[in-house]
Amino acid sequence: MKQRLGRQLAAGAVSVSLGAALWHAIGVRPTPLVSLPALVSDAIPASGVSHPVTAVLLNFRSYDTLLEIAVLMTAAVVALALREEQTTRTDTPASARVRYVVLDTLVWRLVPLLVLVAGYLLWIGSKRPGGAFQAGSVLAGAAVLLRLSGFAITPVDHRLVSRIAMTLGMVIFLCVAIGTALAGRELLDYPVAWSGALILVIESALTISIGVVLFSLFDNAPQQPRGLSR
């Protein structure tokens, strides 16, 4: 009990001082001399898209996005690795679950709508808010919804087709990167005339992969082996 109190006091001291320091710092922040938003809006016409956030994500700072997809892939790979060890996976077959008619109808109405929304978000991303990440996560959300309501949707496991779907975004992104490098340009420096099309291709592939990976992180979470206690 004493140790717990000590821990609370120490944690309290650390976080209160951090909070106070942040509070103070926010109040006395100097005004920046560099203005990136101005640079962004100057460069937008050459970026291939008109929505600034998309331009930053997939053109100006596309390398960040490439590494970010690698982070997502890391999580997916670990999930696959730890899933595979389980020989006694206790997936409840969809038919065995109790289904509620209302839920069913709701899901059947909702899921196609979500897929439509995802497609719209992907398409609109070049001009307005939206893009691969939002679209991919909406797709994943639709799949999670289906799985939660007991529908037998195909698991994202170690079959080749799943692994292709997971890595599709990375493969396309890398192909574009290698293409630009082989053409003697800087890495991921799209030719201006092609940049709109290339970004759309990359984003479409990313949408699929992000959707599949995010769903796989949900679907591949380890289960308790039934009736097996150690």
- Residues numbered 132-171 forming contacts with another protein, rule: CB under 8 A: 133-134, 137-138, 140-141, 144, 148, 158, 160, 163-164, 166-167, 170-171
What is d(CA 51, CA 208) in angstroms, rounded to the nearest whole number? 21
Amino acid at 192: V
Amino acid at 88: T
In sequence order, which ranges of 59-191 are alpha helices (DSSP H)? Answer: 62-84, 101-124, 132-148, 160-182
Of the listed pieces 52-60, 92-100, 102-110, 196-204, which binds another protein according to CB under 8 A?
Answer: 52-60
172 binding another protein? (CB under 8 A): no
Contact predicate 103/181, CB 8 Å: no
| Structure tokens that stand for 197 in this block | 């099309």
Of the listed pieces 24-32, 91-99, 101-109, 196-204, which binds another protein according to CB under 8 A?
Answer: 24-32
Tell me how long the chain is: 230
What is d(CA 187, CA 64) in angstroms, rounded to the nearest whole number? 12
Among 45, 50, 61, 112, binds another protein (CB under 8 A): 61
Nearer to another protein, 195 or 204 (CB): 195
Among 45, 78, 91, 97, binds another protein (CB under 8 A): 78
Output the smallest distance, CB 31 to another protein, in A.
7
Of the listed pieces 67-75, 98-106, 197-205, which binds another protein according to CB under 8 A?
Answer: 67-75
